[in-house]
Amino acid sequence: MKESTLATKVMIAILCLGVSVYLAVYLVRGWKQDLVTTYAYAYSLDVGREAQGILVRTETPLAGGKGYLDQILPEGAKAAAGDPVALLYADPSALTTRQSIRTLSAEIEQLQYALSTGTQNTDAARLDAQVISSIVALRSLAAGGDLTGLDDSTLTLRSMVFKRDYAYGDTGAADQLSRLIADKQSQLDELHRSLNQVSTTVYAPASGVYSAGADGWEAVATPAMLDSLTADELDALLRQQYSPAPGCVGKLITGSTWYYAALLDGTDTGLQSGRRYTISFSGDYFGQIVMTLDRVSLEGERTLAIFSCRTNLSDTTLLRLQTVDVVTQTLEGIRIPRQALRVETAEETGEDGAVRQVNRYGVFTVVGAQAEWHEVEVLYTDDSYYLVRPADLEDAKRLRPGDEVIFNSAGIYHGKVVR
């Protein structure tokens, strides 16, 4: 009798445990939230075609002879006719002298600034703060082992100290500063005299934009060839290689308009002559430039396009052979994750009375506590997202940027309570 009672108790205990586990699983599943949402947002997308091409400009190579080149003008700077643009040194040590000249010139400029502003009314407290800030900056450079800006920091501190002396009425500071400027100027004059003995100045033969990047294409890629250029000729040209002539020290771009001759695969590019297109560079130069399409020619399986531009010349002086994206269309819509787009099949009666099955695309959003269906039109497909717009732009309940989109929920339907 006792054995039967014990077996019964064990069976009851197992049964109770099973019921408890079942109830626990049921409750956990009931509390589990399978609703996953994200926010849709406005998105703009440039759709383009890749092109290979060459930059064409009116250019004059600058001959200077053998030597060590030192630019007077920076890359892409404008030069008037007769302006010095570069120096050629017979001795490599002259480059060090040139750097010393630049340093001395900067020192004199700062000291002259301190002299000219020191006699003006200056807030002494503000100068004290600037002196302390300069000392801290100098200490940080020295402690960190960064000596690249040590000269500039030292000159700044010196200028602040002189200006502070003026503010506190140190009349001797003006004489000391004047003597220091005269001494620096004497050193600068001596360096100029020594440099003139080993240097040759290169002058601009005409007004234009200076570039040190001569590449040998100056006499090949000229605007005169563009009117008769064909796709085959451009293809052959892109395979050529050229080098600058010996002794060439740069080039002068004399035309204000520059061109980009492009070769695109296919003839369905949709390019129209006279329209303006955005050319997206992403190699040696990263940026977008708006250019006008002067000529388009469909040849075989390729398209030849000649673009022109009157801006950004100084930014592109070093570019020649470039692969770019020609932006043919800009799409604006609403970006949603791929999982959020849903397809519903519906019946539609055509004009001939026939009933057809059509697919309608849409997304569900959370409005209050319910799911709401919005029909959309797909503009662009990507690996991770869709760019869409409302199927009816006049619908008051259309999808809008900022809506909370449902992209992972089982058994979803319009009007379902999801929260």
- Residue whose pair of structure tokens reads 């994200």 in the numeric block: 38
Considering 304, 330, 356, which residue would you say is the last residue of a domain?
330
- Residue 184 is assigned to a structural domain of this protein: yes
- Residue whose pair of structure tokens reads 């000729």 in the numeric block: 233
Considering 197, 229, 255, which residue would you say is the last residue of a domain?
197
- Residue 87 is assigned to a structural domain of this protein: no
Residues 246, 278, single domain; the answer is: yes
Residues 157, 107, single domain; the answer is: yes
Q: What is the pTM of this model?
A: 0.65
- Residue 147 is assigned to a structural domain of this protein: yes
Nearest-angstrom CA–CA distance, 21 and 301: 70
What local confidence, expressed as pLDDT, does residue 32 receive? 47
Residues 290, 229, single domain; the answer is: yes
Considering 176, 197, 218, which residue would you say is the last residue of a domain?
197
* CB burial readout 63-79, b (16+ within 10 A) else e: ebeebbebbbbeebeeb
Residues 178, 234, single domain; the answer is: no
The candidate with the shortest Cα–Cα distance to 407, out of 124, 114, 40, is: 40
Nearest-angstrom CA–CA distance, 153 and 256: 40
Which two three-digit tokens encode residue 173?
């500071």
CATH number at residue 356: 2.40.420
Strand ranges, E, within 19-90: 36-39, 41-56, 59-63, 68-71, 78-79, 84-89
- Residue 283 is assigned to a structural domain of this protein: yes
φ, ψ for residue 411, nearest 5 deg: 65, 35
Residues 216, 151, single domain; the answer is: no
Residues 57, 155, single domain; the answer is: no
What local confidence, expressed as pLDDT, does residue 235 receive? 95
The candidate with the shortest Cα–Cα distance to 58, out of 290, 313, 358, is: 313
Helix orientation angle between 93-118 and 172-196, rounded to the nearest 10 degrees: 160
Q: Are 202 and 87 in contact (CB under 8 A)?
A: yes
What local confidence, expressed as pLDDT, does residue 145 receive? 63
Cα 113 off chain centre by:
36
Q: Are 394 and 417 in contact (CB under 8 A)?
A: no
What local confidence, expressed as pLDDT, does residue 274 receive? 95
DSSP string, 295-333: EEEEETTEEEEEEEESS-TTTSTT--EEEEEEEEEEEEE
Nearest-angstrom CA–CA distance, 68 and 59: 23
- Residue 300 is assigned to a structural domain of this protein: yes
Residues 133, 170, single domain; the answer is: yes
- Residue 104 is assigned to a structural domain of this protein: yes
Residues 276, 324, single domain; the answer is: yes
- Residue 325 is assigned to a structural domain of this protein: yes
Which two three-digit tokens encode residue 382?
């990507």
What local confidence, expressed as pLDDT, does residue 278 receive? 95
* CB burial readout 100-136, b (16+ within 10 A) else e: ebeebeebbebbbebbeebeeeeeeeebeebbeebee
Segments forming the whole domain that contains residue 264? 49-61+210-330
Residues 134, 120, single domain; the answer is: yes
- In the chain, how many domains are there? 3
Residues 319, 371, single domain; the answer is: no
Per-residue pLDDT of the chain (419 residues; tens, 9 = 90+): 445 577 777 778 778 887 777 776 655 554 445 688 899 999 998 888 999 999 999 999 998 777 777 788 889 999 999 999 988 877 777 677 777 777 788 777 767 766 665 545 456 667 677 778 878 777 776 776 655 556 667 766 766 666 665 555 555 666 777 888 888 888 888 877 766 666 778 899 999 999 999 999 999 999 999 999 999 999 999 999 999 988 888 999 999 999 999 999 998 888 999 999 999 998 788 889 999 999 999 998 999 999 999 999 999 999 999 999 999 888 999 999 999 999 888 777 777 777 788 889 999 999 988 999 999 999 999 999 999 999 999 998 899 999 999 987 677 888 888 87
What local confidence, expressed as pLDDT, does residue 409 receive? 66
- Residue 130 is assigned to a structural domain of this protein: yes
Residues 298, 318, single domain; the answer is: yes
Residues 312, 246, single domain; the answer is: yes
